[in-house]
Amino acid sequence: MKLVFATNNKNKIKEIQSAILGKMEILSLAEIGFSGEIPEDYDTLEENALQKATHIATRFNVNCFADDTGLEIEALQGRPGVYSARYAGSQASAENNMEKVLRELKGESNRKALFRTVISLKYNQQDYFFEGIVQGQILESKTGDEGFGYDPIFQPDGFCQSFAEMSIAQKNKISHRGLAVKRLVQFLEDEITGSPVQ
């Protein structure tokens, strides 16, 4: 089975390819000849994920999925949430975004946070959604060099490493995206093919 992953984030592609481990062929936007920006105009992860998947599925007439992810911090009333990519400004880097979070949490003892991924799947003109959540804590400072985005400041509950100190395989076992992808694969196996995806 071939599915297009509507993302411009190469780290997401690496994680999802590792999670799917050959059960499906994941095509990147470059592989189908798309190089533009994908719009992301909404205020919820669900609407943005659907918008990204629809943008590609309708242009290329393919089965396709997209992922929208946010980091929700309890002491910041759920911010940055759906605005995680541009938290420190429209051109912000991951470093800028993490610095802003650490600044806002300076002296704050409640470090509770969660990552939430919503995957929107367009499959044979139907829409399906899969969610994955991981609970954790925002660290006092950046730790680790792996991963991407906010990984160096997020430590999942039950672990003493940040996501940026884990391999892709370790992160996938417990992460928001790993969980959402597991549900996507399970769905395709159980509900659509009726047998393991070949």
Contacts of 89 (CB under 8 A, 6+ apart): 96
- 68 as an active site residue: the answer is yes
**Does position 159 bind ligand ITT by CB under 6 A?**
no
Choice between 183 and 189, CB closer to ligand ITT? 183
Choice between 40 and 47, CB closer to ligand ITT? 40
Contacts of 12 (CB under 8 A, 6+ apart): 5, 67, 177
Kindly tell me which residue out of 4, 151, 155, 156 binds ligand ITT, with binding defined by CB under 6 A.
Answer: 151
The CA-CA-CA angle for residues 96, 99, 101, to 5°, reads 110
Output the smallest distance, CB 196 to ligand ITT, in A. Answer: 27
- Dihedral of the alpha carbons of 43, 47, 49, 52, in degrees to the nearest 10: -100
Q: What is the C-alpha separation between 146 and 112, in angstroms, rounded?
A: 22
Q: Which stretch binds ligand ITT (CB under 6 A): 8-16, 18-26, 102-110, 190-198?
A: 8-16
Strand duo 25-27 + 112-123: pairing: unpaired
On whether the CB atoms of residues 37 and 49 are closer than 8 A, the answer is no
Output the smallest distance, CB 193 to ligand ITT, in A. Answer: 26
**Does position 42 bind ligand ITT by CB under 6 A?**
no
Kindly tell me which residue out of 19, 119, 132, 149 binds ligand ITT, with binding defined by CB under 6 A.
Answer: 149
Kindly tell me which residue out of 3, 4, 12, 98 binds ligand ITT, with binding defined by CB under 6 A.
Answer: 12
**Does position 7 bind ligand ITT by CB under 6 A?**
yes
Q: Pick out residues in 107-136 that bind ligand ITT (CB under 6 A).
A: none
Q: Pick out residues in 47-76 that bind ligand ITT (CB under 6 A).
A: 67-69
DSSP code of residue 191:
I
Backbone φ, ψ for residue 137 (5° rounding): -135, 145
Residue entry with tokens 């980091």: 71
Which residues of the chain form contacts with ligand ITT (CB under 6 A)?
Answer: 7-9, 12, 38, 40, 67-69, 84-85, 94, 147-151, 163, 175, 177
